[in-house]
Amino acid sequence: MKIQLLSLQVAGGLILLLLALQMIFGFSHEPSATPEKGHDIAVFPLAVPSIAGAEAIMAVVLLTDNQIYSISSQAVTACVVVFIMTIIYGLMLLANPILRIIGNNGAAILERVTGMILAALAVELIMQAIGAQRWLR
């Protein structure tokens, strides 16, 4: 299909930016009680998990490019992904106690601050890809 890695980087940045904007402005997709006609819940999942969503997959794809990174660098990336998943698992186990401590307002503030950081990262990804594209021409 001859899709350049830079195109995937821009696409991943845009998806990440959309997720960040959802976090900042509080948009949500509440699933309806009744599925759409012709859509079986078993076949069409209600949501894609944010942990292993498109932005996370795109980050791993970009960090494991065989033409840029050596096998040892890619192994380090794999170890970091496993480490992060372990931390996320631990935080999920502690989610209820943390929510009791910070409350719903604290959780909303934390979500918006995290969304701002994510938006900045997304813009940086897009700018890097556009800058790299300019150097290739």
pLDDT tens digits, residue range 70-86? Answer: 888 888 888 888 898 89
CA distance 79 to 93: 21
Contacts of 132 (CB under 8 A, 6+ apart): 6
Tens-place pLDDT, residues 120-132: 988 888 888 888 7
- 41: its two tokens: 């819940």
Could you tell me if 29 and 75 are in contact, meaning their C-beta atoms sit under 8 angstroms apart?
A: no
- Residue 19: pLDDT band with limits 50, 70, 90: confident
Residues 131 and 135: their CA atoms lie apart, in Å, by: 7
Task: Report CA Rg, the chain.
Answer: 18
Model's pTM, two decimal places? 0.58
